[in-house]
C-alpha cells in the first residue's frame, strides 16, 4: 500500500504535463506533451492556440501518466494542479480537468504555485533541508528567493522588465535561428546555447545592467535591445536581408549568453552577500544527504528552463565556488516545465498539511 501519492497536472504555459509521485520520492509514472515546436513556427505562443492544444492532449497525458504508474486513481491521495502564475486560458484547462477528477474520485485538490514548484523540485532529488537560496530563471520569470519552508519564501529580487528566457528567445528570433536546420526544434534559449559554442564571447562588451542599484533585482531588456541593435548594424554592414544568417551570428549568441550569465551571477552574488550578512543561510548540516556538500557554507539552487543552460550553470558554479557555497541544479528535463514538479509540490504540501482543499468543487483562482 502506498502512503501518500499525488497526481500532479501542469498546463500553465506550453507543456501539458502529468505525473504520479509519492512521499518517498518515487516517480511512479509521468507524461509530457510539449507544444514548443508548434509555437516556434508562429514565432511565439498564441494563448488561444496553446489552450486548444492543452485541451486536445490533457486526457491522453494524464491517462498515460496514471496507467504507467500502475496506481489506480482510487488509490491516489490527492490531485495537485498549477493554478498560477501562467496564461489564464491554459491554466483553466488543467484546473477544470482536475476539478472533474476531484469530483468523480472524491479526492482533495492541492492548488500549486508554478514557481514554488520549480523552487522545490530539488527536494525531490536530494534530502535537502530548509533554508536554501534559489534562482529561478525561465521564460516567464527571474526570481531570487530564500526558501524557508514549503510555503515560506522570502523574495530577494526579481526582474524589473523581462525574463532571461524572453530575452534569449527574442534575440534567437531576431537571428532567425529556428530557420537553421540544426536549431529547428530547439527553444530560443537552446539555439543560442548551441550556436554560442562556435562563437567568441568577447565579440562585444556591454556594461552589466543595474550596476548602480544596491539591490538584487534584474533587468534584461536593455541588454537585449543592445544586441538587437548590434544585429541590425551587422545586417546593414553585410548587406543581407532579414532572415538570412549573419556571418557573426555565433559571436553574437556567445557574447549575449555571456552577458546574461554575468548579470545573473552579479545579482546572485549580491543576494549571497546579503544572506551571509543577515544570517539567512546557516552552514549546511553534516546530516545532509548530499555527498561532499557538508563543508560548505550554504546552498544555492538554480532551476527553470534557462537553468538548463550549461554555460550559465558554469558561471554560477564558479561564483558559488568562490563564495564557499554549493550549487545544485535539477537535470534539464526537471528544469523546464513538467508534471513531476507539480506532483512533488503536492506531496510536500500534503505532508505539511498546507493548502489541501477537501471540497474543491468551486475553487477560485487568480490567473496572473
Binding site for ligand KG4 (CB under 6 A): 13, 138-140, 165, 168-169, 187-190, 193, 304-306, 308-309, 336-337
Which residues neighbour 41 within 8 Å (Cβ) at sequence distance 6 or greater?
Answer: 178
**293 vs 340 by CB, closer to Zn ion:** 340
309 is in the binding site of which of ligand KG4, Zn ion, none (Cβ under 5 to 8 A by kind)? Answer: ligand KG4
**20 vs 192 by CB, closer to ligand KG4:** 192
64, 120, 147, 184, 365 from 345: Cα distances, Å: 20, 7, 13, 33, 18
Binding of residue 116 to Zn ion (CB under 5 A):
no
Cis peptide before 203 (omega within 30 of 0): no
Strands annotated E in the chain: 5-10, 15-22, 27-34, 78-84, 109-113, 132-137, 142-149, 152-158, 299-303, 326-328
CB of 82 to ligand KG4, least distance (A): 10
Q: Are residues 297 and 284 in contact, defined by beta-carbon separation less than 8 angstroms?
A: yes
Contacts with Zn ion in 198-257 (CB under 5 A)? none
CB of 120 to ligand KG4, least distance (A): 14
**186 vs 335 by CB, closer to Zn ion:** 335
CB of 163 to ligand KG4, least distance (A): 7
Q: Characterize the bridge pairing of strands 132-137 and 142-149.
A: antiparallel
CB of 337 to ligand KG4, least distance (A): 4
CB of 188 to Zn ion, least distance (A): 15
Kindly tell me the burial class for residue 204, based on how many C-beta atoms sit within 10 Å of its own C-beta (0-12, 13-18, 19 or more).
middle
Binding of residue 337 to Zn ion (CB under 5 A):
yes
CB of 232 to Zn ion, least distance (A): 31
CB of 159 to ligand KG4, least distance (A): 12
Please choose, from the candidates 49, 85, 229, the residue with its C-alpha nearest in 3D space to the C-alpha of residue 163. Answer: 85
User: What is the spatial distance between Cα 363 and Cα 368, in angstroms, rounded to a whole number?
Assistant: 16
**298 vs 307 by CB, closer to Zn ion:** 307
Binding of residue 15 to Zn ion (CB under 5 A):
no
User: What is the spatial distance between Cα 266 and Cα 142, in angstroms, rounded to a whole number?
Assistant: 14
Among 69, 81, 138, 303, binds Zn ion (CB under 5 A): 138
Please choose, from the candidates 186, 203, 180, 218, the residue with its C-alpha nearest in 3D space to the C-alpha of residue 257. Answer: 203
CA 243 vs. chain centroid, Å, equals 29
**35 vs 308 by CB, closer to ligand KG4:** 308
CB of 255 to ligand KG4, least distance (A): 15
**11 vs 77 by CB, closer to Zn ion:** 11
**140 vs 199 by CB, closer to ligand KG4:** 140
Binding of residue 309 to Zn ion (CB under 5 A):
no
139 is in the binding site of which of ligand KG4, Zn ion, none (Cβ under 5 to 8 A by kind)? Answer: ligand KG4
Q: What are phi and psi of 285, to 5 degrees?
A: -80, 150
Binding of residue 187 to Zn ion (CB under 5 A):
no
**193 vs 348 by CB, closer to ligand KG4:** 193
**What angle do helix axes 249-278 and 221-238 make, rounded to 10 degrees?**
170
189 is in the binding site of which of Zn ion, ligand KG4, none (Cβ under 5 to 8 A by kind)? Answer: ligand KG4
Q: Which residues bind Zn ion (CB under 5 A)?
A: 138, 337
Amino acid at each position: 500500500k502506498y502512503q501518500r501519492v499525488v497526481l500532479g497536472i501542469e498546463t500553465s504555459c506550453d507543456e501539458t504535463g502529468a505525473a504520479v509521485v509519492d512521499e518517498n520520492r518515487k516517480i511512479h509514472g509521468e507524461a509530457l506533451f510539449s507544444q514548443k515546436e508548434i509555437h516556434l513556427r508562429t514565432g511565439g505562443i498564441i494563448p488561444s492556440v496553446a489552450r486548444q492544444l492543452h485541451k486536445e492532449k490533457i486526457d491522453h497525458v494524464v491517462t498515460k501518466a496514471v496507467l504507467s504508474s500502475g496506481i489506480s486513481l482510487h488509490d491516489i491521495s490527492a490531485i495537485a494542479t498549477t493554478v498560477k502564475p501562467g496564461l489564464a486560458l491554459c491554466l483553466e484547462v488543467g484546473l477544470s480537468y482536475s476539478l472533474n477528477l476531484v469530483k468523480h474520485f472524491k479526492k482533495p485538490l492541492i492548488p500549486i504555485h508554478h514557481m514554488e514548484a520549480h523552487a522545490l523540485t530539488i527536494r525531490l532529488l536530494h534530502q535537502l533541508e530548509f533554508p536554501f537560496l534559489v534562482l529561478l530563471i525561465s521564460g516567464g520569470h527571474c526570481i531570487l528567493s530564500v526558501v524557508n519552508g514549503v510555503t515560506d519564501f522570502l523574495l530577494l529580487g526579481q526582474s524589473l522588465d523581462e525574463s532571461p528566457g524572453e530575452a534569449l528567445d527574442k534575440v534567437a528570433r531576431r537571428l532567425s535561428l529556428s530557420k537553421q536546420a540544426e536549431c529547428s526544434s530547439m527553444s530560443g534559449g537552446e539555439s543560442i546555447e548551441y550556436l554560442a559554442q562556435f562563437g567568441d564571447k568577447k565579440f562585444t562588451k556591454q556594461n552589466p545592467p543595474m550596476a548602480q542599484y544596491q539591490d538584487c533585482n534584474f533587468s534584461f531588456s536593455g541588454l537585449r535591445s543592445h544586441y538587437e541593435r548590434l544585429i541590425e548594424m551587422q545586417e546593414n554592414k553585410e548587406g543581407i536581408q532579414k532572415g538570412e544568417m549573419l556571418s557573426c551570428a555565433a559571436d553574437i549568441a556567445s557574447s549575449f549568453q555571456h552577458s546574461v550569465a554575468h548579470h545573473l551571477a552579479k545579482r546572485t552574488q549580491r543576494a549571497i552577500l546579503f544572506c551571509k550578512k543577515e544570517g539567512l543561510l546557516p552552514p549546511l548540516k553534516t546530516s545532509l544527504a548530499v555527498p561532499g556538500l557538508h563543508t560548505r557554507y550554504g546552498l544555492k539552487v538554480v532551476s527553470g528552463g534557462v537553468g538548463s543552460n550549461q554555460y550559465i550553470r558554469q558561471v554560477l558554479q564558479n561564483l558559488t565556488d568562490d563564495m564557499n557555497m554549493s550549487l545544485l541544479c535539477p537535470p534539464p528535463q526537471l528544469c523546464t516545465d513538467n508534471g513531476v514538479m507539480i506532483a512533488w509540490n503536492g506531496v510536500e504540501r500534503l505532508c505539511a498539511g498546507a493548502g489541501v482543499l477537501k471540497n474543491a468543487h468551486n475553487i477560485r483562482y487568480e490567473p496572473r
